[in-house]
Structure 1
Amino acid sequence: MPAGTVAVAVVQDAGLSHWEMYELSIALAVFGIPHEDLADPWYRLRLCAAEAPDVPGGRSGPPGDGPGVPGAGFSLRTDHGLDGLVGADTVIVPSVPEECVDDGREVPAELVEALRAAAASGARMVSLCTGAFALAAAGLLDGRRATAHWQHTAELAARHPGVTVDDSVLYTDDGDVLTSAGATAALDLCLHLVRRDLGARVANQLARRLVVHAHRAGGQAQFIDAPLPPSDDEGLGPVLQWATEHLARPLTVDDLARRARMSPRTFHRRLYEATGTTPLQWLLQQRIARAQTLLECTDLPVEQVGERSGLGTAANLRRHFTRTVGVSPTVYRRSFPAGGLTPSGRPSTGR
């Protein structure tokens, strides 16, 4: 589809939090700054806000005086009310008021009705981070797969059981409805939209201007949890630090327990109490994290990445890495060019 009109919905009764402002700024940076040299015409941005009451540090009044950021010393001015969502090609909800997530308050009815009307008019519906709560409240995510920031996915699933919530991905694309996780995943989804609309070349050039990775696959995991025990845990700390420095070795639970001067059973219990995971799971997480670092920072062949991370063969690396991260090592590496590192991972001298 051509670039078209992108309408961004902003609703906040008490001003935008700094995180909400961050999500909004991503949509504005991608779709609101003209790049006619990349694609002509570029997107037409329409910022739409509900009427805002008196806002600390912001403004009050009709849609032209939109929500402000408490304590930030500035306010947003919009040219459209939420009725401006209807007729747009793409509608983006960057967030909902924090109270709608943390305190269980309902998403404002005015926003819900405006989103339903926009969807009925044929708009592509997009949410960033907590904006998924608004799409879900409007019934637009029922029977669909969706995501949000991993800290809020449990609440989203509990409140909207008809939605298949996936907390392990950066974004979802269900054709006419797309959702993203939080923070920089919102930028990944916005660039994905540009790629869908205008092609990979334009999306890659825009990513370069924004000084970000050109493409991270939507199925990539939001984060990999590789916990370490408290640094003051004298029984576990030193041995696990040693393990992270020797991941290429064929380490076993018995090896680590012996080094910690514990029985395997005691070591298992102590590690689980400290990290919430078993010794084998912990080792796998550390090896996946090491493989990620090697893929990000070196151009080592996949076979050597498997060896140095302790995952063994390239096939074994691919199997564990894809299951944990959500994409293959090769796909993951495309998002992280080596950028001046030699095959060994040492900085290039430039000679």
Structure 2
Amino acid sequence: MSTFSHIALLGFRQALTTSLSLPIELLEACNQQFTRRRQRPPIKLELLSLDPPPLATSGGLVLQADQWLDAEPESAPWPVPDILIIASRWRHPLRGGAQRPEVKQWLQQLASHGCELCAVGTGSYFLAEAGLLDGRAATTHWHYFDDFENRYPRIKLQRDHLITEAGKLYCTGSVNSAADLVIHLIDRHWGADIAHQVTQQFSPESRRPFANQAYRSEHNLRHGDEVIALAQSWMHRHFGDPIRIDDLAQRSGLSQRSFQRRFQRACGQSPLQYLQQIRLDSARELLQNSNLPVEEISALCGYTDASYFSKLFKQMNAIAPGQFRQNVRRKLFSADDRFYEGQD
């Protein structure tokens, strides 16, 4: 788990306001959780601008940037943060500065230093122009799919995914997906408990687990069977729909027997076991982070029979769904109560 990180956000004229403000709010909420626990906040946040001040966003807000990146990297080295979040642009993304040679060079330098580069929406054009996405999976805002694919034919555009992960390069198709990505980064760097507490402040019912919507190059291909990787990806995106294993086999161009055998060899479990795991993991998230009735959660996770769902959930978790919700909520609010003791 990380102890301290320098996280920078890259803005420019006509940047989509929420592509900057929402990640900032989430990361500041992370810092606040550490302050509440009387620990040192782990994140240093910095807003960088490619344009001279003032930085006017698409929403008409004027932001005060910490640095204006107006110099060549050689003469005045630009910062090297641990994580860089690149804003999305309201108009065509290439007008935001993605084609500036010094910007390309800086992004290449960041990648070589191990910086995690996170592009929100059309911010993916910055990574594409720097050549960092060649041969890798990426996504962008849906309106620019065709343009992106035509300009960068060497990039593996993922039209069906709102988040892609290729090593330390992340792309999201929307601001909401960027929020899910930021929660994932908080989870990975500072723990699931902190990520959960931050999620509670920002409409937890609408947050979708990162693993259920991200295309992860290394994860999807680590077993080397691309046909099965595509089937896994499809299951993650459609786990709430009625799914038949023979339909999955047909979609994969295999007989049901061959599909079952290859899936078991690649994943170490049957397709049905894998699907049940996805569904029940999602049910756990909803039970913990939403107020939806158990019957509705059952339906959202692909189970038309709520009693059958409850039976499966208890088999996997050794506890019924309703009791699981009570237990996790009790732990959550007990922790909050302990913090507030003596604070009046």
Instruction: Sort the TM-score into its range (normalised by shorter chain).
Output: 0.5 to 0.7
2:175 aligned residue? 183
Q: What are structure 1's unaligned runs of at least 5 residues?
A: 53-64, 223-287, 293-308, 347-351
1:2 matched to 2:9: no
Superimposed CA distance per residue, residues 289-312 of structure 1 (whole angstroms, 9 cap, x where no aligned partner): 9x84xxxxxxxxxxxxxxxx8x48
Q: How does 1:25-36 map to 2 (within 5 A)?
A: 25-33=21-29, 34-35=31-32, 36=34
Q: CA deviation at 1:179?
A: 1.5
Superimposed CA distance per residue, residues 202-222 of structure 1 (whole angstroms, 9 cap, x where no aligned partner): 111111122325652345289
Q: CA deviation at 1:146?
A: 1.2
2:200 aligned residue? 208
Whose helix fraction is larger, Structure 1's or Structure 2's? 2
2:106 aligned residue? 114
1:329 aligned residue? 279
Q: How does 1:1-351 map to 2 (within 5 A)?
A: 1-12=2-13, 15-16=14-15, 20-33=16-29, 34-35=31-32, 36=34, 37=36, 40-52=40-52, 65-69=53-57, 72=60, 74-82=61-69, 86-96=79-89, 98-100=91-93, 107-213=99-205, 215-220=208-213, 292=240, 311=242, 328-337=278-287, 339-341=291-293, 343=295
Q: What are structure 2's unaligned runs of at least 5 residues?
A: 216-236, 252-270, 300-344
- Matched residue type, 1:21: T
8 Å CA contact 1:96–1:134 kept in 2: the answer is no
Using the alignment, how far apart are the partners of 2:243 and 2:50 within structure 1? Answer: 56
Using the alignment, how far apart are the partners of 1:134 and 1:211 within structure 2? Answer: 30
Cα 1:89/1:333, change in 2 over 3 Å: same
Q: SS of the counterpart of 1:9?
A: strand
Q: CA deviation at 1:105?
A: 8.9
Q: CA deviation at 1:339?
A: 2.0
| Larger deviation, residues 22-31 vs 184-193 | 22-31
Using the alignment, how far apart are the partners of 1:334 and 1:155 within structure 2? Answer: 39
Q: SS of the counterpart of 1:51?
A: coil
8 Å CA contact 1:148–1:180 kept in 2: the answer is yes
Using the alignment, how far apart are the partners of 2:214 and 2:184 within structure 1? Answer: 16
- Matched residue type, 2:209: R
Q: CA deviation at 1:71?
A: 6.9
TM-score by length of 1: 0.58
Q: SS of the counterpart of 2:7?
A: strand
TM-score by length of 2: 0.59
Structure having the higher Rg? 1
Using the alignment, how far apart are the partners of 2:64 and 2:22 within structure 1? Answer: 17
Q: CA deviation at 1:110?
A: 4.3
Cα 1:66/1:115, change in 2 over 3 Å: farther
Q: SS of the counterpart of 2:92?
A: helix
